[in-house]
Chains A and B, each alone.
Chain A
Amino acid sequence: MLEVPFGAAALSSREIEGLIRGNNLVTPRPLVTAADGAIDLHLSDLFLVGKRSVLPSISMEEPRKAARLFNEMRIARGHRIALQPQQFFLASTLEYLALPDTVCGLIQSRSTAGRMGVISVAAAWVAPGYKGSPTLEVFNAGDISVELAPFGEPVCQVILFSATRTSARISRYQCSTKARFATDLGDELIESWLRYLSA
C-alpha cells in the first residue's frame, strides 16, 4: 500500500536540487534546476504514432489491442514532428527519472505548450521508487498543427511530493527507456518460441 501523507506539500526547489545532486534523481541533470519546484521534461526522439483505420474500435478491457493501432517512428536529429489537430501519439521523455522510495511525482503539461493546444500527459502519476523515462500521452486539442522537436522545448514537468512506502512493489514499467504499451507481447511470444525450439 502506498500512502501520500495528507496535506503533504510538494518538495521545494531546494529539496529537489538536493535530490538531484545526491540521489541522481534525473539524468541528464537539468540545466535549469527546479526553478518553480518542478523539473522540466523534454521529448525524446521515438514516437508511437497512430494509424487510425486499422480497427473499428478498441475496448478498455483489452489494452493490448491498442498496440495494433500504432507505428514506431524516429525523428532524425534536428527535425520536428507535426502534431495535427485531434491527433494523439505516445512519446517518452528524454529524462530518465529515478525516484527514491520516499518521493512520488505528478507530471503535468507546461502551460506554454498547453496554450498552443498540446496536452502532453494523461497518466500523470509517478510512483515512489519508479525508475524510467515516463511514457507521455501527447494530444493536440487545438485547431492548428503544432511542430514538436525532440530534445527541444520542454513539453511537461514533474512536480515531486514526499511519500511513505509501506510495501515495496516494483512497477511493471520499471527501467523502461522508450514509449511502450502495457506489455511487450512480442518479446513474451518470442521467448516462448525460443523455449519451444530449445526443448
Chain B
Amino acid sequence: MLTTHYQKRAILERFHRVQRQLVEFDTRSESLTTGARQLLASGFEAVTVASVTFLSDWQEQIDLDSQAEDKFFELCDRHSAILGKFESKLIPLLDGADCNNIPFELETHLASLVPKIAPDWDITATVLHSEYRFNYGIGQYTTDELEALPAKIPIDHQRFVTFALPRIARDSLTLHAVLLGHELGHLRQWHSPIPTSGKVETLPEDLLRSITDTDQRLKVLLTVKGITRNWINEFVADTYSALLIGPASLLALGELGAAVGSTTHDSETHPATDRRLSVIMKVLAGQGFLEPRLHVGFRSLEELESANLRYSSDMDRDPPNQPTGFLNFSALRTAWNIVHGWIDDIVNECSSSLPPELKFGIDRWGIARDVAECLAEGRPVGGSLSKTALLPADVLNGAWLVRVSRMEDLAKVAGLDRDGQLSHVRTSKVLDDLVLKSLEILSYEQRLAHA
C-alpha cells in the first residue's frame, strides 16, 4: 500500500518533471509561437502556484491533524488531478508533436482517407504506431538530408514525410479539422506536387531584380526561395483542406490562428492567417458556398471579417509590413509578391488534382445541417442520418455550425446552463465528445460494411 509520504514524494516528483519541461521550452522560446509563449508564461505561474499551495496545505494539515491520513490522500488527489492536466494538456500543447495526440476515433478515417490522398503511403507504420518522436515534424527531406542522419537510423523516406500536429489540444474539433483537412493536404502535395510548386526553382527575374540591397542580394535570394516554397506548400494544404472538409477548414484555421497569436503576422514558414483565410474563402466560393445564410452564421468570426477587410479591394496592396529585420522584411515582401500571382493557379491545380468524390461541396451542406440539428439535441450521429454515406467532413461541419450558433441549445440539453449562465468550456467539451462519439460510430459502421 502507498503511504501518504510516498504519495507526497510522487506528487513533488511530477511537479519537478513538469517544471523541468517548462524550463526546456523556455530555453528555446524563440521557436515558440506568440500564443505558446503566453501559455508558457501562464504555465510557469500555474505550476509554481500549484506546487507552493500543495506544500503549504500539506504543512497546514500536519499542524491541524497529522494522523488524518484521508485528508492527506485528498490533498494528493486534488493536486494529482491538476498535474494530470498540466501533463496531458499543457505540455503537449507546447510540445506540439506527439502521435498520442491523434484521437483513436480518427484512426479508421485517416486509414481510409490516406490511401486515396496518397496511394502507397503507409499510415500505420509512420503515424499511428510510430516509435519516432521526431517523426511529427513537417518537412520533405531530401536524400542528402536523410543520409546525414545517424547511421543506425534506417533510411526510409516515408518515415520522415509525416504529419505535423499543431499545438492544439487533443479531442478538440480544431484538431480533427486540421488533421483531416490541412495535414492531409500536405500529404497530397508531397505525394503529387502541383505544377506551380515547381516554379519556385525558376523565380521570375524581374521580381528578384527588385531587391535593391545588392550587398545582401544572394542571402535574400536564398531566403526568398525558402519562404516562397513554404508559403506555396501552406496555401496548397489550405486549398486541399477547403476542398476536403469545406467550411470547417475556414473556422478551424480562424480558431487556430487566433490561438497561436496575431492573425496578420507573416512568418518564414507560414503566411499570415488572414491571407490563408482569404484563399480558403476563394476555394469555398468555387465549391458553391455562397449561400447568404451560411455567411450570416460565419460572420461572427473576427478573423474572417479581418480577412474580408484586407482583401476586399486588392490583395496586392497588402504586403507584409511587420518590422522583423531588414532581411526578413524584404524577403517576405518579395515572396508575397511572387506567391500572390500564383494563387489562382494553386487553387485550380489543387481542385483538378483531387477526385470529385473526395470534395466537400455545397450539395453536402444539407447533411451538415442535419448533423448540427442532431448534435444540438445532445445526440451523436450515425449512418442512419443520411441516405448517402455520412463522412467525417459532414460531422465536422455540423459541429462547427453548433459551435457558431447552437451552443445555448446544447448547454440546455446537457444541463449546463445553470442560472441562465452558459458554461462555454463544459459545453465545448460535450460537443467535442459528441463529435468523437460520432466518428467512433462511423468507424464501427464502416467496419461492419466492410465485413
Contact = CB atoms under 8 A, between A and B. Distances in A.
Range, interface on chain A: 35 or more
Given A27-B441, A94-B444, A175-B413, A190 B77 contact: no
A131 B441 contact: no
B35 interface: no
A189 B413 contact: no
B382 A28 contact: yes
A185 B1 contact: no
A29 B444 CA distance: 11
A94 B440 contact: yes
Nearest to A28: B382
Nearest to B2: A54
B42 A197 contact: yes
A68 interface: yes
Given A77-B107, A178-B433, A53 B1 contact: yes
Contacts of A190: 81-82, 85, 89
Contact of B380 (A65, A170, A171, A177): A177
Contacts of A14: none
Given A31-B448, A74-B104, A193-B50, A177 B414 contact: no
A177 B1 contact: no
| Most chain B beta-carbon contacts within 10 A, residue among A28, A31, A65, A193 | A28
Contacts of B415: 170-172, 174
B414 A174 contact: yes
Contacts, number: 109
Given A65-B73, A185-B81, A189-B81, A151 B447 contact: yes
B437 interface: yes
B92 to A, nearest CB: 14
B77 A44 contact: no
Interface in B38-57: 42, 45-46, 49-50
Interface string B101-132: 00010011000000000000000000000000
Contacts of B383: 28-29
Interface in A48-93: 53-56, 62, 64-65, 67-68, 74, 76-77
A189 B53 CA distance: 13
A133 B437 contact: yes
A139 interface: no
A131 B46 contact: no
A68 B425 contact: no
B84 interface: yes
Interface in A31-56: 31, 44-45, 53-56
B104 A45 contact: yes
Given A27-B381, A28-B382, A174-B413, A96 B82 contact: no
Interface centre among A96, A178, A191 (most CB of B within 10 A): A96
A24 interface: yes
A98 interface: yes
B84 A186 contact: yes
B299 interface: no
Given A24-B379, A55-B1, A191-B425, A175 B104 contact: no
A145 to B, nearest CB: 24
A3 interface: no
B378 A175 contact: yes
B382 A185 contact: no
A74 B383 CA distance: 24
Contacts of A62: 70
Interface in B428-447: 429-430, 433-434, 436-437, 440-441, 443-445, 447
A187 interface: yes
B199 interface: no
B20 interface: no
Contacts of A174: 378, 413-415
Contacts of A171: 415
Nearest to A27: B382
Interface in B371-393: 374, 377-384
B78 interface: yes
Nearest to B381: A27
A131 B379 contact: yes
Contact of A185 (B42, B49, B78, B441): B78
Contacts of A194: 425
B440 A186 contact: no
Contacts of B443: 77
12 contacts: A27-B441, A65-B77, A68-B77, A94-B444, A96-B379, A96-B380, A98-B378, A174-B415, A175-B430, A175-B433, A186-B81, A197-B45
Interface of A: 24, 27-29, 31, 44-45, 53-56, 62, 64-65, 67-68, 74, 76-77, 94, 96, 98, 131, 133, 151, 170-172, 174-178, 185-187, 189-191, 193-194, 196-197
Given A65-B73, A197-B46, 20 more contacts: A28-B382, A28-B383, A28-B444, A53-B1, A68-B73, A68-B80, A74-B104, A96-B380, A98-B377, A131-B379, A133-B437, A151-B447, A174-B413, A177-B436, A185-B77, A186-B85, A189-B82, A190-B89, A191-B425, A193-B46
